[in-house]
């Protein structure tokens, strides 16, 4: 089995061949620790595990896609549903393009096919090289209003900051570099997997709703749901149960009752 199947990342119920598998793909934090609230909720409907990203200064998008594809093959004989948040949504869509036979469905949360903040994306990795990594907790506290939902509870924020301490410097910086060269706008029509886009209308980091509308118009078998009142880092919120829209959407898919089918 892959080293990514760490007990801390909650491998759930994969012995049940009759239940669809969901793999949670984290955002730029890479730890997968921020899925703590959603993982047990999704586990009521699916086999669920998470896919922490390596703290590797040299990992490319192609490397991450290969690792994720390998994990899918290890845990499921009939492919998996990928639920990716932000950078994880980009990685999930890239995996669906490279390995359509492995990806039965996509759930893409507050993500994008391209980002046009070219100056910021060029400067951010450079800034992280000179800034002491120990200052990042302070930076995250100053950017709370941009990252989080307006109604996020203090205890949710405290949990976010505690878990964010596990974010590795090298992988974080490398993922910023990957985003700078990421552009699948012209390939969206090639995504074969049924796709659900979830976009927070209070996202101040990424124009998630605009990108969601852009992508749903181009991905052949796609739906869009607006998460009203939610910001970019929304999956930690006390009042968001992402399993409801995901399970309802997946139950309408022709392949939902046939895990071995081709979707």
Percentage of the residues of the chain whose pLDDT score is greater than 90: 72
* CATH label of the domain that carries residue 36: 3.40.50.1820
Mean pLDDT over 7-24 rounds to 64
Is the torsion defined by CA of 247, 94, 89, 158 positive or negative?
positive
Mean pLDDT over 170-191 rounds to 94
256 found inside a domain? no
Q: What is residue 5's predicted lDDT score, i.e. its pLDDT?
A: 40
Domain holding 14, by residue range, is 7-251
Q: What is residue 123's predicted lDDT score, i.e. its pLDDT?
A: 53
263 found inside a domain? no
23 found inside a domain? yes
Question: Please, what is the end-to-end C-alpha distance for the chain in angstroms?
Answer: 26
Q: Give the pLDDT band (50/70/90) at residue 2.
A: very low
Mean pLDDT over 228-254 rounds to 95
Query: Is 60 exceeded by the pLDDT of residue 70?
Result: yes
Total domain count, the chain = 1
- How far apart CA 227 and CA 190 sit, in angstroms, is 26
Query: Is 70 exceeded by the pLDDT of residue 127?
Result: no
Percentage of the residues of the chain whose pLDDT score is greater than 70: 84
Across 51-55, 117-121, 143-147, the highest mean pLDDT is recorded for: 51-55
Q: What is residue 116's predicted lDDT score, i.e. its pLDDT?
A: 81
Average pLDDT, the chain: 87
159 found inside a domain? yes
Report residue 135 as tokens.
Answer: 């200052």
Q: What is residue 255's predicted lDDT score, i.e. its pLDDT?
A: 62
Mean pLDDT over 78-92 rounds to 97
Return the higher-pLDDT residue of 140 and 244.
244
Mean pLDDT over 76-85 rounds to 95
260 found inside a domain? no
Report residue 19 as tokens.
Answer: 């239940």
Query: Is 60 exceeded by the pLDDT of residue 15?
Result: no
Q: What is residue 7's predicted lDDT score, i.e. its pLDDT?
A: 36
114 found inside a domain? yes
- How far apart CA 12 and CA 87 sit, in angstroms, is 23
Q: Give the pLDDT band (50/70/90) at residue 236.
A: very high
Element (H or E) spanning 108, and its range?
strand 103-109
Q: What is residue 16's predicted lDDT score, i.e. its pLDDT?
A: 60
- How far apart CA 7 and CA 175 sit, in angstroms, is 24
Q: Give the pLDDT band (50/70/90) at residue 60.
A: very high
pTM of the model: 0.89
Mean pLDDT over 64-92 rounds to 96
183 found inside a domain? yes
83 Cβ neighbours under 8 A, 6+ residues apart: 22, 23, 24, 25, 42, 92, 106, 107, 109, 242, 246
Query: Is 80 exceeded by the pLDDT of residue 6?
Result: no
259 found inside a domain? no
Return the higher-pLDDT residue of 26 and 142.
26
Q: What is residue 185's predicted lDDT score, i.e. its pLDDT?
A: 97
């Amino acid at each position: 089995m892959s080293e990514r199947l760490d007990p801390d990342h909650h491998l759930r119920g994969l012995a049940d061949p009759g239940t669809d598998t969901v793999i949670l793909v984290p955002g730029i934090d890479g730890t997968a620790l921020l899925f703590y609230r959603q993982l047990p909720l999704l586990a009521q409907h699916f086999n669920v595990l998470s896919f922490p990203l390596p703290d590797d200064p040299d990992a490319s998008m192609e490397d991450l896609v290969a690792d994720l594809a390998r994990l899918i093959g290890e845990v499921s004989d009939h492919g998996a549903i990928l639920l990716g948040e932000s950078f994880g949504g980009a990685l999930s869509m890239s995996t669906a393009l490279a390995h359509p036979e492995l990806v039965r469905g996509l759930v893409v949360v507050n993500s994008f096919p391209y980002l046009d903040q070219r100056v910021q994306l060029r400067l951010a990795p450079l800034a992280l090289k000179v800034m002491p990594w120990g200052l990042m907790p302070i930076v995250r506290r100053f950017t709370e209003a941009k990252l989080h939902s307006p109604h996020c509870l203090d205890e949710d924020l405290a949990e976010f900051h505690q878990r964010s301490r596990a974010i590795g410097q090298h992988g974080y910086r490398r993922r910023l570099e990957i985003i700078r060269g990421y552009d699948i706008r012209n390939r969206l029509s090639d995504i074969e997997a049924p796709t659900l886009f979830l976009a927070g209308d209070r996202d101040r980091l990424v124009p998630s709703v605009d990108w969601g509308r852009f992508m749903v118009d181009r991905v052949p078998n796609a739906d869009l749901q607006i998460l009203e009142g939610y910001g970019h880092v929304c999956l930690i919120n006390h009042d968001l149960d992402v399993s409801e829209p995901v399970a309802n959407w997946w139950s309408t898919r022709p392949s939902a009752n046939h895990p071995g089918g081709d979707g």
